[in-house]
Structure 1
Amino acid sequence: MNTKLYLASKSPRRQELLNLMGYSFELLLKDVDESYPGDLALTEVAAFIADKKAAAFDIPDDGILITADTIVLINNEILGKPIDETDAIAMIGKLAGRKHQVITGVSVRSAVKQITFSEETLVYFNPLSLDEISYYVKNHRPFDKAGAYGIQDWIGLVAVNRIEGSYTNVMGLPTDRLRAVLKKEFSW
């Protein structure tokens, strides 16, 4: 196959997941404004930002570009990446003992086609004490993660009661759906 795969993501988890899927790829990195229109439905934000990221790159004619964005949504509020420890503790406090949505938007683009989709997973958290939340934030420093947590970390082992949907989606890349799109739409 002469087509080259590109991943435009600083996320080490997305990079690891693509590697685990057996794909060889080249990283493309660029800071992209992640703002979105205020009247956009919150469930559409991740796909909107994934498209915005895809539009920021010129890709070769023989390339396929993957971009993604993940949000955590609870009570009509998007929890992005925390700005500091206090923010991370507050975010996890909102999630503790409750259900929330993790939505990842993915854009797959070639020179002739672009497919964008969103995947949603429901995550149910057990109640957590402030000491437990503080322990997690201090020891795992989840400042690069939407909602201030990584399901693959300590908190996923002790606080996630169950999920409905894709586990890898909560990590930041719905691998099964991405593979299906690459195979069906891009013959990859």
Structure 2
Amino acid sequence: METAANTSQFKIILGSSSVHRQKVLSEMGYNFTVMTADIDERSIRKEKPEELVVALAEAKAEAIIPKLPIGHFQKDAEASVLVTCDQGTIREKPSSKEEARQFIKDYSGGSAATVSSVLVTNLRTGFRKGDLDKVEIYFHAIPDQVIDNLIEEEMILNVAGGLITEHPLMLPYIKQVVGTMDSVMGLPKALTERLIVEAL
């Protein structure tokens, strides 16, 4: 299988402003540039989380591609790929501190699930391939004081479902992760690697 060691043969554009996704892609050994999609995510609605994250990843690609010099990519000897993605839970980002508190209380002693969508577009050939990755997270009971401290940082309001598993305050209360933490962070490594290879 082709790996990150072959990055000299192609260029990657990551269509995400997420520092977590950038960290994961860097850990995979890739050099990349970042572009963001200016879309209103709340205007895109789907019944199921799986359908929503796929639609959002596609919408991000559609928003970014017109900004790119596609003619240049088509003539370039090196392939260039655009990676867009979305990650969600069955819940939206909390609309208030009170809602975020309720979300975390619901996870306490229970579980949560995430679904990530990754879409890779070959900008030279137009080939596009996407897929999903799901993770289940099981929690110990989370003390009220920990919940209070998480809410005070307000970072939790920017995360789907208020599910901020990589936070140092939350980590001790994660009992089990069925899947990978990179998927929870929004960019499943194995899936992303496979799609990049298939797109080249």
Q: TM-score range by the shorter chain?
A: 0.7 to 0.9
Q: Does 1:158 align with 2:172?
A: yes
CA radius of gyration, larger in: 2
Q: Report the secondary structure of 1:29's partner residue.
A: coil
The reply on whether 1:66 has 2:79 as its aligned counterpart is: no
Deviation at 1:87, TM superposition (A): 2.7
Q: C-alpha deviations, 1:45-77, integer Å up to 9, x for none?
A: 2112111111111243242111111111xxxxx
Give me the whole-angstrom Cα distance separating, in 2, the residues matched to 1:149 and 1:41.
18
SS in 1 for 2:61: helix
Q: CA deviation at 1:44?
A: 2.2
Contact 1:149 1:155 in 2 (8 A): no
Q: Do the aligned residues in 2 keep the contact of 1:136 with 1:154 (CA within 8 Å)?
A: no
User: Is 2:129–2:199's contact at 8 Å kept on the other side of the alignment?
Assistant: no
Cα distance in structure 1, aligned partners of 2:190 and 2:117? 14
Name the residue aligned to 1:88.
100
Task: Give the direction of change, closer, same or farther, for the CA distance of 1:96–1:150 in structure 2 (3 Å limit).
Answer: same
1:7 alignment partner in structure 2: 14
Q: Is the alpha carbon distance of 1:158 and 1:140 closer, same or farther for their aligned partners in structure 2, counting shifts above 3 Å?
A: farther
- Report the structure, 1 or 2, having the larger helix content: 2
For 2:139 and 2:30, the matched residues in 1 are separated by 32
**1:153-181 deviation per Cα after TM superposition (whole angstroms, max 9, x unaligned):** 12442221101112210111101211122
- Identity, in percent, stands at 24
Paired AA for residue 109 in structure 1: T
Match of 1:130 among 134, 144, 150: 144
Aligned position for 1:42? 49
Deviations 1:129-165 (A, max 9, x none): 3322111222473232222132221244222110111
Task: Give the RMSD, CA atoms, in angstroms.
Answer: 1.9
- Structure 2 residues without counterparts, runs of 5 or longer: 1-7, 74-78
Q: Any idea what SS the aligned residue of 1:143 has?
A: helix
1:53 aligns with 2:60: yes
Is 2:161 the counterpart of 1:144?
Answer: no
CA distance in 1, matches of 2:107, 2:51: 21
Which residue identity lines up with residue 82 of structure 2 in the other structure? L
Equivalent-residue separation in structure 2 for 1:145 and 1:47 (angstroms): 18
Cα distance change of structure 1 residues 155 and 125 upon mapping to structure 2, 3 Å threshold: farther
For 1:175 and 1:160, the matched residues in 2 are separated by 21
The runs of 4+ residues in structure 1 deviating greater than 6 Å are none
The whole-number CA distance in structure 2 between the counterparts of 1:9 and 1:84 is: 24
Question: Number of residues paired by the alignment?
Answer: 180
| TM-score, with length taken from structure 1 | 0.86
Structure 1 residue runs without a partner (length 5+): 73-77
TM-score of the aligned structures, taking structure 2 as reference length? 0.81
The SS at the match of 1:57 is helix
